Amino acid sequence: MTKIATLEINGNKYEFPIIEGTQNEFGIDIKTLRGVTGGVTTLDPGFKNTGSCESAITFLDGEKGILRYRGYSIEELAEKADFLEVAYLLIFGELPTAVQLEKFDADIKEELHVDEDMKNILDGFPKSAHPMGVLSSLTNALIAFNPGSVDVASDDAMYRAIVKIMGKFPVLAAWTMRKRKGLPLDYGDSTLGYVENLHKMMFARPNRVYTKNKIVNDALDKLLILHADHEQNCSTSTVRIVGSSHAGLFASLSAGISALWGPLHGGANQAVIEMLEAIKADGGDTAKYIAKAKDKNDPFRLMGFGHRVYKNFDPRAKIIKVAAEEVLADLGMEDPVLDIAKGLAKVALEDEYFVKRKLYPNVDFYSGIIYRALGIPTEMFTVMFALGRLPGWIAQWREMRQRKEPIGRPRQIYIGEGYRPFVSVEKR
Ligand code: CMC
């Protein structure tokens, strides 16, 4: 039986159907609200209570700390799958068979190059440019070298666009780092796996034979999987909303990269390490920084803490914390910043301010410690996030187009001046 929500405005009652997801989530379907009420709208800054779409890709329960891609738990995927399998799963809905996976891999490998002229664009950036800005620009620039928008009605055209960006994106990401370091650009090696090849493209030295390292590869694989999708977060919503105007896939991804860059979103992983380093340089006084985070007159926030949706724990943070310890042990490294992070988390998790607001370490809190152990420079951390999020963005963009969603165009409540006659400049 259809469940109904009743809304009363000035004595008039309106009924709206309540839709139910497959995991007992309920949403009031207000598609007809403005029509039946004569223009009443809703106000929900930051969309804290608003579902923007129905989606079959990622399920998360913030109260219980559950995250699943297409029904598979993040814990199992991080343990048993590799990144390319997860990418396929997210984009196409099912885990690939061995044959499908082999084809996906081979088709991506056919795209492991970008037009040499893209180097001219890269060269135009100063070495000091932040890699996220460069990556967003290069992703947009790819359109010029691959013109024509994707025919979303054609499975084949969609597939070609997907393997194209899956192949070229790691090349661009690696180049942003090499440019910064003054290293010659590397095109990788198509005999390597997807993640191994990414690592080679980032770290290969011109005068040395590249050797792969299983510990490093497994750690990277796990991090990419953990970042691969997170339903309607800021960057994904950006990708969907840009795509909803029928802008192409690469343009939508470029916008998503810009959204991810911000320190309240993916940029938090860089901000966390910078914060931990600052605390270390300041004598490791975690209590001082907890007090700063709680002080409403101080703009400081505990980076890597809190989440819009998780109000219990972030399952990704749990996995990453263990992985950070394992990776440091496997590589025979110690990082004093890990101890500061653990100390900070311990104090915060017992502090009333954080407990009351349900603020827990999020995915970004420990990931930077692993990236650092793998030799990845701090300013590349958010690029690593983007590399992981790529299949999620693609899957969400594809779903949005296949479901023929309308252009994203929220309403507002205008609070400005009423009509005023124009005053000429000499009379102002
Ligand atoms: N440090 C101190 N106080 C905090 C923090 C924090 N990190 N996060 C939230 N609060 C407080 C906030 O001041 C507010 O307090 P009050 O109710 O007294 O006004 C309350 O907790 C609720 O915060 P909010 O900003 O309304 O919550 P939100 O859902 O809008 O924001 C967030 C979520 C992730 C942007 C926020 O927690 C934050 O800024 N965290 C730090 C940045 C960060 O780690 N971002 C990564 C998020 S996970 C990965 C990703 O999405 O990319």
**More confident position, 238 or 326:** 238
Instruction: Provide the CB-side half-sphere exposure for 260 (13 A, CA).
Output: 36
pLDDT at residue 1, as a whole number: 66
What integer is the mean pLDDT of 211-215? 90
CA 345/CA 290 separation, integer angstroms? 10
Phi and psi at 330, nearest 5°, equal: -60, -35
Reported as a single tens digit per residue, the pLDDT across 70-105 is 999 999 999 999 999 999 999 999 999 999 999 999
Reported as a single tens digit per residue, the pLDDT across 377-417 is 999 999 999 999 999 999 999 999 999 999 999 999 999 99
Reported as a single tens digit per residue, the pLDDT across 306-317 is 999 998 889 999
Q: Which atom of ligand 1 is nearest to the CA of 304?
A: 44
Question: 124-138: b or e for each residue (b if 16 or more CB lie within 10 Å)?
Answer: ebeeebbbbebbbbb
Q: Tell me the two tokens of residue 42.
A: 């809703």
Reported as a single tens digit per residue, the pLDDT across 42-79 is 999 999 999 999 999 999 999 999 999 999 999 999 99
pLDDT category at 182 given cuts 50, 70, 90 is very high
Ligand 1 pocket check: which of 359, 381, 384, 393 to mutate, most ligand atoms within 8 Å of Cβ?
359
The H or E element containing residue 217 is helix 214-226
Tell whether the torsion through CA atoms of 175, 177, 182 and 188 is positive or negative: negative
Q: Which of 235, 277, 267, 279 is nearest to 253 (CA)?
A: 235
Which pTM value belongs to this model? 0.95
Average pLDDT of the chain, as a whole number: 95
Q: Catalytic amino acids?
A: 307, 364
Instruction: Return the DSSP state at 361.
Output: B
Burial of 325 (0-12, 13-18, 19+ CB in 10 A): middle
pLDDT category at 367 given cuts 50, 70, 90 is very high
The H or E element containing residue 18 is strand 12-20
Cα 5 to ligand 1 centroid, rounded to whole Å:
31
Instruction: Return the DSSP state at 305.
Output: B
pLDDT category at 256 given cuts 50, 70, 90 is very high
**Long-range contacts at 398-402 (CB < 8 A, ≥ 24 apart):** 398/91, 398/152, 398/158, 398/162, 399/55, 399/56, 399/57, 400/53, 400/240, 400/243, 400/244, 401/152, 401/243, 402/152
Q: Which of 268, 245, 240, 224 is nearest to 391 (CA)?
A: 224
Q: Which of 74, 53, 400 is nearest to 242 (CA)?
A: 400
**177 Cα distance to chain centroid:** 19
CA 318/CA 316 separation, integer angstroms? 5
pLDDT at residue 298, as a whole number: 96
Report the nearest-CA residue for atom 45 of ligand 1.
Answer: 264
pLDDT at 149 over 90: no
Least confident segment among 176-180, 230-234, 309-313: 309-313
Q: What are the DSSP calls for 145-193, one per residue?
A: HS-S---TT-HHHHHHHHHHHHHHHHHHHHHHHHHHHTPPP----TTS-
Report the nearest-CA residue for atom 49 of ligand 1.
Answer: 265
Q: Which residues line ligand 1 (CB under 6 A)?
A: 46, 233, 264-266, 268, 293, 301-308, 357, 359, 362-364
> For residues 319 and 221, is the Cβ–Cβ distance under 8 A?
no
Instruction: Give how far Cα 251 sits from Cα of 176, 243, 263, 384, 407, Å.
Output: 18, 8, 22, 19, 15
CA 349/CA 366 separation, integer angstroms? 15
**76 Cα distance to chain centroid:** 20
Ligand 1 pocket check: which of 227, 257, 264 to mutate, most ligand atoms within 8 Å of Cβ?
264
Highest-confidence segment of 246-255, 308-317, 360-369: 246-255
205: left (phi over 0), alpha (psi -120 to 50) or beta: beta
Instruction: Provide the CB-side half-sphere exposure for 401 (13 A, CA).
Output: 23
Ligand 1 pocket check: which of 233, 235, 297, 307 to mutate, most ligand atoms within 8 Å of Cβ?
307
Q: Which of 308, 146, 153, 145 is nearest to 235 (CA)?
A: 308
Report the nearest-CA residue for atom 39 of ligand 1.
Answer: 264
Q: Which atom of ligand 1 is nearest to the CA of 260?
A: 52
> For residues 201 and 174, is the Cβ–Cβ distance under 8 A?
yes
Reported as a single tens digit per residue, the pLDDT across 22-38 is 999 999 999 999 999 99
The H or E element containing residue 373 is helix 363-373
CA 324/CA 401 separation, integer angstroms? 38
Helices (H), ranges, 56-130: 74-80, 83-92, 98-109, 118-123
